[in-house]
Structure 1
Amino acid sequence: MPRRGENIYKRKDGRWEGRVLKSPGRYQYVYARTYKEVKEKKKLLQEGITKELPSNTHSRCDAAKEFTAWLHGDLTGRVKPSTYESYYRCIVGYVIPFYQEKGNEQISLQTTSDFSCRINNHEGVSVSYRRKILTIYKTALREIMKRNKECDSILNAIQMPRKISAEVQAFSVKEQRMLERTIIQSPDKRCLGILLCFYTGIRLGEVCGLKWEDIDFEAGTMVVTRTVSRIKNFDETKKKTVLYIGKPKSIHSVRKIPLPDFLLELARELKMERSDNNHFILTNSEYPMDPRKYQKLFQKLLTHASVKKRKFHAIRHTFATRALELGIDIKTLSEILGHSNVSITLNIYAHSMYEQKKKAIGKLNAMYVMHTETPLLTVKDSVTVA
């Protein structure tokens, strides 16, 4: 039976079809009555094409060594530790095993196309993660082959899976009220951070990284300047993972957010119990809250409030949804969320914006109905007779 990534399929007429990439976007096809026959034909065709295109091979050394060298080069000094971990997981988990399985072949147009095809057909991971793997693969290839004249051709062989727009998961107004009531009644003051997320839209790592010095009580604002994440520890002599405190996701994520009056009042009350301005808010110590532990606390809160389980990020989606329902313009919302551009906000919350458009049209419809119920003046009625 065919394996994923082989580019061999059974046709409706009973024959088997195989395809081989000749150049970016161009394929050559072979046909046979059995899978075994078409596989052999495809192999012979591939060998012929490879001989015709010797320049499409990156000939320094085998690909697995190339990608390993890229990971252990100066990459660690150029990207954030959390970003490096993502690169590491994708390259070590998917790219290197693929080339080792291929017998440590060199980077070529064909192997690049085969890897792209395998990831696109990988049903074990989400579409978004497939895109992430291929994006990192492309980044690595571009740097490894930057002096190779065939670089562009090989990069063009990578086909990204089509994005699937999933509806954002947000809490209903009723669910939000139930959660807020549970938070206020909870003796665990760490829960107030969840309330803060509901009314500012900050991310899980960002709320874990907040310090008292980040809140300006006089101006009524809060600044987001750091984020906390748990990442792989590459020092094998120590723990497997470590807490990493770093800068937010992008330069746009470093932002100042106005705080509602009721949140400022709650923060003032809590601050009276805390002394050190340099301490993290959620832990009241010099050590930040572990995002994984805070996620677990949130799940317990959902159970206690009898609200359906959702990921922590649903709070951020809820903030954006409520903001749109209240008529906050998209540019302002985008800046509060820390998105790099408005188009990201538009793409994520397209469904919520559509619902607002429907409500607006509903108001116009009500206006029309109201007008038709009021007798209209005729031309004759409007003329004053002298």
Structure 2
Amino acid sequence: MAKTNYLKRTINGKEYYYFRLRHNNLNKPKDVYATTVKELDQKIRKIRNELENNIINNKEVFETFFANWLFDVKFLTLKPSTKERYEIIYRNYIKNSPLSKIKIKDITLTDIQEYYNALIKRGSTVSCILALNKLIAPCIRYAYNNSILIRDFTGAIVLPKESEETKLNKANKVQPFSLDEHRRFITTIKGHELEMLFLTALNTGMRQGELFALTWNDINFQGCYVSVNKTAKNVAEVSREGREPSKVIIQTPKTVKSNRRVSIPNALSEQLKQYKLKQSEYKLKLANLYENNNLVFCTIDGKYLDSSNVRKRFKKIIDTINSNKSDDSKIIKTRTFHDLRHTYATRLFELGESPKTVQELLGHSDISITLDTYTHVLENIKVMATSKLNDLYISMKAK
């Protein structure tokens, strides 16, 4: 048995080592108990360390502390759509998780690291872990800054990296229309109720939410440009009590760079003018039944468009194109509305625009996003450029 100066005390028939701890930061002495000398030594060192670092004796468990930080602190500076996204992360990955019952003052780097590793083993994606850490890390820093943790260990967390295969799969999800598909799509949507929505997406690269929020005040016909300054989104109001039914809200665009001015072709400008006149006729016909939000793209009675409804109509157009294809035309693979934005960017690259220009027109926050998103497009353009060089050298030799 190890030698010790600790006293022993029997409580309910069980023998404990104990120590009466005195410290300047304690209002009165604190009795510390343990079944072994080693355990008691560790407890005393831990308590002294906390006292000397002015660590608050917070008894909250991680889940409670995280919820209080998220809903009462973090939410103060967030957009409604971001609140909704973060509430989903809290509900799926913090609430009732292996971290839940650990006291916030006792949580360690190992606890967080093991949780992330377990999630990866269960099949969670790298992007899921990164999104989760984007919330856990600032929560830990908040605890540290408020003297609840001895140190901020978030910089030591080892985060997973995407494999080359995952990166390739992401790049393959970018499916712009080829020139032939582009032409067939435009031909098929002529006279369609959403023709101008699709044409504007193809000629501006605007995101769906930006198009849904676009008002006539945002279009400068004289200067032939569109001011992108807001986005429409179906969002549920969230709190620690739960989620309310979703409703359309207007909020600032995705990033600061998303606030931008996009030039539009003269042809599109003229089409929009005609479309506006047609819309004015509907307003007169429906009179008081028309909900005038001054929207460019809306339902027949002036209300905001529904993304799921637009998605169904878009799919039906692709199906129509494929059912009417000629023998020499190819089947168009499944596409999303967002692929119209990719098509716009691809056409710009094919016309020789620089990545920096494309970045600004798309409203990407960083040029690396543009380059990563359109890696395959740029590679194809390089091949085409090399082919042109070969043709040039062949013609030079012929002369």
TM over 0.5: yes
After TM superposition, list the pairs within 5 Å mapping 1:236-275 onto structure 2: 240-275=245-280
314, 324, 335: which is aligned to 1:310? 335
In structure 2, C-alpha distance between the alignment counterparts of 1:53 and 1:158, rounded to whole Å = 28
Are residues 1:289 and 2:305 paired? Answer: yes
Q: Rg bigger for which structure?
A: 2
> Residue 119 of structure 1 contacts residue 134 of structure 1 at CA under 8 Å; is this kept in 2?
no
| Residue of structure 2 equivalent to 1:110 | 110
| Residue of structure 2 equivalent to 1:280 | 295
> Residue 112 of structure 1 contacts residue 158 of structure 1 at CA under 8 Å; is this kept in 2?
no
The residue type paired with residue 87 of structure 2 is: Y
Deviation at 1:104, TM superposition (A): 6.5
Instruction: State, as a whole percentage, how many aligned pairs show the same letter.
Output: 28
In structure 2, C-alpha distance between the alignment counterparts of 1:237 and 1:112, rounded to whole Å = 26
In structure 2, C-alpha distance between the alignment counterparts of 1:109 and 1:120, rounded to whole Å = 17
| Residue of structure 2 equivalent to 1:367 | 392
> Residue 144 of structure 2 contacts residue 152 of structure 2 at CA under 8 Å; is this kept in 1?
no
Gaps of 5+ in 1: 1-46, 375-386
Q: How many residues align?
A: 324
177, 180, 196: which is aligned to 1:174? 180
TM-score (norm 1): 0.75
| Residue of structure 2 equivalent to 1:27 | none
Are residues 1:299 and 2:305 paired? Answer: no
Per-residue CA deviations over 1:36-87 (Å, capped at 9, x if unaligned) read xxxxxxxxxxx9xx98995799962211111111122033221101111111
Give the SS at the match of 1:311.
coil
**239-248 or 127-136, larger mean C-alpha shift:** 127-136
> Residue 62 of structure 2 contacts residue 102 of structure 2 at CA under 8 Å; is this kept in 1?
no
CA 1:272–1:185 in 2, change beyond 3 Å: closer, same or farther?
Answer: closer
Deviation at 1:243, TM superposition (A): 1.5
In structure 1, C-alpha distance between the alignment counterparts of 2:56 and 2:161, rounded to whole Å = 25
Gaps of 5+ in 2: 1-38, 284-291, 323-331
TM-score (norm 2): 0.73
| Residue of structure 1 equivalent to 2:77 | 78
| Residue of structure 1 equivalent to 2:326 | none
> Residue 87 of structure 2 contacts residue 238 of structure 2 at CA under 8 Å; is this kept in 1?
no
CA 1:136–1:314 in 2, change beyond 3 Å: closer, same or farther?
Answer: farther
Deviation at 1:158, TM superposition (A): 4.2
Are residues 1:340 and 2:346 paired? Answer: no
> Residue 198 of structure 1 contacts residue 319 of structure 1 at CA under 8 Å; is this kept in 2?
yes
The residue type paired with residue 81 of structure 2 is: S
Per-residue CA deviations over 1:160-210 (Å, capped at 9, x if unaligned) read 332632222222222221211121132x1x232111111111111111111
Are residues 1:66 and 2:70 paired? Answer: no
In structure 2, C-alpha distance between the alignment counterparts of 1:183 and 1:141, rounded to whole Å = 52
In structure 2, C-alpha distance between the alignment counterparts of 1:249 and 1:255, rounded to whole Å = 11
The residue type paired with residue 300 of structure 1 is: K
After TM superposition, list the pairs within 5 Å mapping 1:1-386 onto structure 2: 54=46, 60=58, 61-99=60-98, 106-123=106-123, 125-148=124-147, 150-162=150-162, 164-165=166-167, 166-167=170-171, 168-186=174-192, 188=193, 190-234=194-238, 240-275=245-280, 279-283=294-298, 287-306=303-322, 307-374=332-399
